[in-house]
Chains A and B, each alone.
Chain A
Amino acid sequence: MSNRRNFIKQTILSGFGLASLNLFPFRSFAVKKSKYTKITILHTNDVHSHIEPFPDNDPKYPGLGGAARRASLIQQIRNEEENVLLLDAGDIFQGTPYFNLYNGEIDFKLMSLMQYDAATIGNHDFDNGIDGLNKMLPHAKFPFLNVNYDFNDTILKGKIRQYKTFTKNGIKIGVFGVGVELDGLVDKKLYKTTKYIDPVNIANKIAEILKVKAKCDLVICLSHLGYQYKSDKISDLKLAEKTKNIDLIIGGHTHTFLEKPTKIRNLSGKNTLITQVGWAGINLGRLDFYIQENKNYSVRYQNIRIRNKSF
């Protein structure tokens, strides 16, 4: 519990564009480098089989998104940064004919090529049934994380992990996933005997395991619960309030384009950040955690819109 005594200082610094990193060059950071370890979290959600960019004549998102450009951007960031984690908050499947024809194979292969570190399961990832998802898993060279779907009576038993920890340059990061209630959202014949478990208690339990037992410096929740509802339905906002030990919730499901991360005071009075980057791979989210030796950290946030043209 020692890290709870340390009042964690979280500061959201300014979000610079990539080019502005040159205005504030790495050398100026390098001066302080001994004091910080920088962890770069990149994230997507609800990509929905948007392999190609939206067409240029799309009324809402002309020319935005596209896997090949996202890969290029991610590679660029990897070239510049030492400690990168790439995460997805679910609903990888469904939305373009690529899914109808290939059932998610290309989506998982592309994410593997981009070296995603982990993803969680969205409701649409059940669209070809639990068997359809199972069949595609060999194409994913990254784990799927979820703590609140009980797959024990299903074909996915033992194939979905609750969490995974990563160590980057001495900094330990714990990642786990939560999913939305399936009843009423997904046909029962698709999710079969998967049991939904209320996410709050289990998320709390797992976050504590990660933070306290596993001594993770950062605990990240990949959530497909949705950002916010008018009803009492559990959302990222509510999850953040009702839990502790979670530093960051990377959300999805509601296709919410957050301009900046939402800061919520959690159950232990600390801050939990919530982020979400819309859908369809239009944006790549980026959070840089500057973690000091005493494990206090500052966060720099950036929303990177993926376009096909410079202008």
Chain B
Amino acid sequence: MRLVTKYVFLFSIVFNLLSCQHPSYFKTKDTSISLNSDYANDPQTSALIQPYKDKLEAEMNEVLVISAEEFPAERGKPETKLGNLVADLSMRTGSLIYNTDNNHHIDFCLLNFGGLRTSLPKGEITRGKIFELMPFENELVVVTISKEKMRDLSTYIRKVGGQPISDGFKYYSKKDESNPKMSNDSTYLIQHSTNAPINHVKVLTTDYLANGGDKMNFFLNPVKSEPLGIKLRDAIIEYCIRVNKANGQLVGKLDGRITFE
């Protein structure tokens, strides 16, 4: 045997499927075979992969920008440096694409902590690191929702204790002492409000969340949904490249955009 095989569990089932008259019996275990590493890789296949792998690694190892500090992937906080960074850069990119005239501007960006899959280290940020941060193919989309849905959004933020939002949004929530479970004191504020009466709010998010992902049901059945044709990951990559070209670094900020009292 050229290939050394070794199996850990044996999965076996014996049962007679013929008829009910015959007693059927089965026995199950799990099967697993491991290949000895000496023989594990088929040489022809490895040879086919290698040039693709080399090119991929070169691309993924490309340093896009230097980060001045660490951006930890954290949950359970109202706002995080990482969440603020990604929401703000999305807002900037989304606005460049969408805000062709003043009547059509995005009010703010809302993402989710769960979608930010890894921390960004201090120092060199590679393209591969951004793929780890955002492995999904989610695209940016502008969702227009009603004022009523905006109230639901506000309630949601309070319930989950925060999500990444852009600096176009300030959220303040105070607990109602008489009824700590049902706070009525939460307020929200949109910075870029126009003079026109606000009946609708334009929220930048991803198609995943716009489809109700992470229980963001307030995005369902919107007034309007407008995909921007850019992936969130590409928006992050483009931002890193832009900052680097301007001789800048990634700098974190926490500004109390979401506050619970």
Contacts and interface: CB of A to CB of B under 8 A. Distances in A.
Interface in B5-51: 5-8, 10-18, 26-28, 30-37, 39-42, 44-46, 48-49
Interface stretch (B54-62, B67-75, B156-164, B190-198): B54-62
A214 interface: no
Contact of B40 (A51, A72, A187): A72
Nearest to B7: A17
Contacts of B44: 71, 113
Nearest to B18: A9
B10 A94 contact: no
Interface string A99-134: 011100010011001100000000000010000000
A310 B45 CA distance: 21
B56 A307 contact: no
B131 interface: yes
A14 B41 contact: no
A17 B45 contact: no
Nearest to B33: A304
Given A18-B5, A304-B31, A310-B35, A68 B42 contact: yes
Contacts of B14: 11-14
A106 B49 contact: yes
Given A12-B26, A68-B42, A69-B42, A51 B49 contact: yes
Contact of A311 (B8, B15, B45, B128): B8
A72 B42 contact: yes
Contact of B18 (A11, A16, A100, A306): A11
A127 B136 CA distance: 12
Give the most central of A97, A301, A303: most B CB within 10 Å. A97
A20 B37 contact: no
Contacts of A127: 137
Contacts of A302: 11, 31
B6 A310 contact: yes
A260 B15 CA distance: 11
Contacts of B131: 97, 100
B42 A17 contact: no
Contacts of B207: 187
B215 interface: no
A76 B137 contact: no
B3 interface: yes
A18 B33 contact: yes
B53 interface: yes
Give the most central of B1, B11, B28: most A CB within 10 Å. B11
A260 B28 contact: yes
Interface string A268-311: 00010000000000000000000000000000011111111111
B104 interface: no
25 contacts: A11-B15, A12-B17, A12-B26, A13-B14, A14-B14, A14-B27, A17-B10, A18-B5, A19-B7, A52-B49, A52-B53, A68-B41, A97-B56, A97-B131, A98-B52, A102-B52, A127-B137, A260-B11, A263-B17, A301-B13, A302-B11, A303-B31, A303-B32, A308-B40, A310-B36
Interface of A: 7, 9-20, 22, 51-52, 66-69, 71-73, 75-76, 79, 94, 97-98, 100-102, 106, 109-110, 113-114, 127, 187, 259-260, 263, 271, 301-311
Interface of B: 1-8, 10-18, 26-28, 30-37, 39-42, 44-46, 48-49, 52-53, 55-56, 59-60, 128, 131, 137, 207
